[in-house]
C-alpha cells in the first residue's frame, strides 16, 4: 500500500485496531504474572549494550534473589523504594524484585539538575529506600547528590540512615559498583544478602489482593511540582494488556524500546508484555537518545519500535547518512507528541515494511497508554477515544 499523507500534521497512518470482544481483566499481581512463564527458556529481554539476554526463568531467579536481598537488608513489606535510572537491566530487575518483596516501587529519571529535585521526590513519596544509578556511569556523582540531601549519610551505618530532612529514608543503594561510599549499599551487596533459605521465605504472593498498591509514580512536573499517583498491580497489568492488544503484540513480536523505562507506561509495556504474550523486549543502550538503536534493531530483527516523534526524527536523519534500511520493522508506536508528515515519509524510506504507525498518549495517572490513534483520528483537533477496557467519566 503506498504511503499517503496530507499537508497538515497527522497523528497516525494506516493503523486500525480490530475489536476482539469484551475485555476481561486479569485478577493478578506482578509476581503472579512473572511466575506464569518462569518455566520458559525463551528470551524475554535483551540489553544490547550490556551484552545481556535473560530468559523468563532467569528473570524469575534474578527477581527472587533481589527480593530476598532487599528484605534481608532490613526493609519490610509495604515499604517504599525509589528507583532512579535509565534503561539498565538492573532497573527492570529492581522493580520486579521490589514487587516480589511486597515493596511499593517508584521509577524516576536519574538526571537531577540539583539535589532539591531528588529531595522533593523522597519527601513526597515518603520512601524508605533509594536505588540510584548515575547517568554518567560513576558513583561519585550519585553519592554527592545524596549527601546534599542527607549530610548525615557519611556517619550512618548501612540500612540505618538517620536524616533530619528525610526521616523515613534508611537505605541508600548506589547501583554503580566502581566505588563504595559510607552509609551506602551497592546492588551487589544487596544481591549478596540473598540465600536459598531466604528466597524460600519470601512473602506468599498468592495471598495478595491484586488491588493492593504496587507503585507510586510522579507526574512530569512541567507546569507544577511533580505530584504522586498510586497504582495497583491490577491497574499496571491490565493497562499493559490493553495497550499490547491494541498494538497487536504477538509471540513473534520483538519490541525495540527507545523510550525511558522510568516512565511507568513504558516500563509496563516492555516489562510485562513478554510475560503476557511471550514476546521479547530489546534495549539498545541506557541513554536518553540511543545512538545505536538502529544497529540493535538490525541485529535482533526487531518487528516493533517504541519511540517518540522527536527522538525518531533525529535518529532517522542520522540513519539516512549511513544508508541504513530496517525491513524487519512492521509496526512503529510513537508516544507523547504530534507526528509530522515529513516524519511519516522518513519512516517509509528506512522502514519500508512499517505499515502500522500509531501514536498514543502516555498517562501517569493510569500507568498506561489509554489512547492510541488510528488513521481516522487527528488528536490535534479532537481527543481520541480511549482503548477498549477503559471507561470515561465526566464530572
* Residue, of 100 and 2, whose pLDDT is higher: 100
241 lies in the same domain as 368: yes
pLDDT at 393: 59
Is residue 142 pLDDT above 90, yes or no? Answer: no
Q: Which of 10-14, 211-215, 219-223, 356-360 has the highest mean pLDDT?
A: 211-215
Domain of residue 324, residue span: 232-372
For residue 267, the domain's CATH number is 3.40.50.980
Q: Is residue 41 part of a domain?
A: no
The model's pLDDT over 366-385, given as tens digits with 9 standing for 90+, comes to 888 877 775 445 545 545 56
**Cα separation of 144 and 335, whole Å?**
34
- pTM higher than 0.75 for the full model? yes
Predicted confidence band at 357 (pLDDT cuts at 50, 70, 90)?
confident
**Cα separation of 226 and 289, whole Å?**
23
Q: Is residue 378 part of a domain?
A: no
End-to-end CA distance of the chain: 43
Cell digits of residue 131: 536505588
Mean pLDDT of the chain: 87
Give the number of domains in the chain. 2
**Rounded (to 5) percent helix, strand, coil in the chain:** 35, 20, 45
pLDDT at 21: 64
303 lies in the same domain as 363: yes
List the one residue out of 372, 44, 93, 32 whose CA is nearest residue 234.
32
Q: Are the beta carbons of 249 and 279 closer than 8 angstroms? A: yes
Q: Is residue 101 part of a domain?
A: yes
Q: Is residue 366 part of a domain?
A: yes
201 lies in the same domain as 269: no
Is residue 394 pLDDT above 60, yes or no? Answer: no
Q: Is residue 294 part of a domain?
A: yes
Cα–Cα distances (Å) from 306 to 106, 255, 335, in that order, read 22, 7, 8
Q: Is residue 22 part of a domain?
A: no
157 lies in the same domain as 296: no
Cα–Cα distances (Å) from 178 to 11, 81, 324, 377, in that order, read 45, 22, 36, 50
* Residue, of 394 and 274, whose pLDDT is higher: 274
Q: Is residue 382 part of a domain?
A: no
244 lies in the same domain as 292: yes
66 lies in the same domain as 203: yes
Predicted confidence band at 355 (pLDDT cuts at 50, 70, 90)?
confident
Kind and range of the H or E element at 68? helix 56-72
Q: How many CB atoms lie within 10 A of CB 20?
A: 9
61 lies in the same domain as 203: yes
Q: Which of 246-255, 298-307, 335-344 has the lowest mean pLDDT?
A: 335-344
Amino acid at each position: 500500500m503506498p504511503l499517503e499523507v496530507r499537508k497538515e500534521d497527522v497523528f497516525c497512518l494506516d493503523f486500525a485496531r480490530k475489536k476482539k470482544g469484551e475485555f476481561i481483566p486479569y485478577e493478578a499481581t506482578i509476581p503472579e504474572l512473572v511466575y506464569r512463564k518462569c518455566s520458559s527458556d525463551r528470551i524475554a529481554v535483551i540489553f544490547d549494550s550490556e551484552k545481556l539476554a535473560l530468559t523468563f526463568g532467569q528473570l524469575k531467579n534474578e527477581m527472587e534473589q533481589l527480593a530476598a536481598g532487599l528484605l534481608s537488608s532490613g526493609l519490610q513489606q509495604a515499604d517504599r523504594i525509589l528507583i532512579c535510572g535509565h534503561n539498565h537491566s538492573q532497573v527492570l530487575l529492581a522493580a520486579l524484585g521490589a514487587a516480589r518483596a511486597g515493596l511499593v516501587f517508584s521509577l524516576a529519571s536519574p538526571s537531577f539538575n540539583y539535589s532539591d529535585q531528588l529531595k522533593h521526590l523522597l519527601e513526597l513519596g515518603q520512601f524508605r529506600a533509594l536505588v540510584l544509578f548515575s547517568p554518567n556511569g560513576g558513583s561519585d556523582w550519585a553519592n554527592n547528590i545524596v549527601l546534599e540531601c542527607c549530610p548525615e549519610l557519611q556517619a550512618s551505618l548501612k540500612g540505618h540512615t538517620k536524616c533530619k530532612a528525610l526521616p523515613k529514608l534508611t537505605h541508600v543503594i548506589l547501583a554503580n559498583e566502581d566505588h563504595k561510599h559510607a552509609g551506602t549499599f551497592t546492588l551487589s551487596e544487596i544481591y549478596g544478602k540473598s540465600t536459598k533459605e531466604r528466597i524460600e521465605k519470601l512473602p506468599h504472593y498468592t495471598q495478595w489482593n491484586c488491588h493492593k498498591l504496587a507503585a507510586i509514580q510522579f507526574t512530569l512536573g512541567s507546569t507544577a511540582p511533580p505530584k504522586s499517583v498510586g497504582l495497583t498491580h491490577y491497574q499496571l497489568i491490565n493497562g499493559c494488556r490493553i495497550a499490547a492488544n491494541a498494538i497487536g503484540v504477538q509471540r513473534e513480536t520483538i519490541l525495540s524500546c527507545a523510550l525511558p523505562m522510568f516512565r511507568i507506561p513504558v516500563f509496563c509495556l516492555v516489562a510485562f508484555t513478554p510475560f503476557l504474550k511471550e514476546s521479547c523486549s530489546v534495549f539498545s543502550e541506557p541513554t536518553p537518545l540511543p545512538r545505536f538503536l538502529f544497529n540493535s534493531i538490525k541485529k535482533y530483527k526487531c518487528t516493533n519500535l517504541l519511540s517518540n516523534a522527536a527522538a525518531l526524527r533525529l535518529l532517522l536523519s542520522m540513519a539516512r547518512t549511513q544508508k541504513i534500511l530496517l525491513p524487519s520493522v512492521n509496526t512503529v508506536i510513537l508516544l507523547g507528541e504530534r507526528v509530522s508528515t515529513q516524519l511519516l515519509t522518513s519512516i517509509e524510506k528506512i522502514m519500508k515494511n512499517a505499515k502500522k504507525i500509531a501514536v498514543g498518549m502516555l498517562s501517569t495517572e493510569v500507568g498506561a497508554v489509554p489512547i492510541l490513534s488510528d488513521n481516522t483520528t487527528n488528536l490535534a483537533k479532537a481527543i481520541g477515544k480511549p482503548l477498549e477496557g477503559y471507561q470515561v467519566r465526566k464530572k
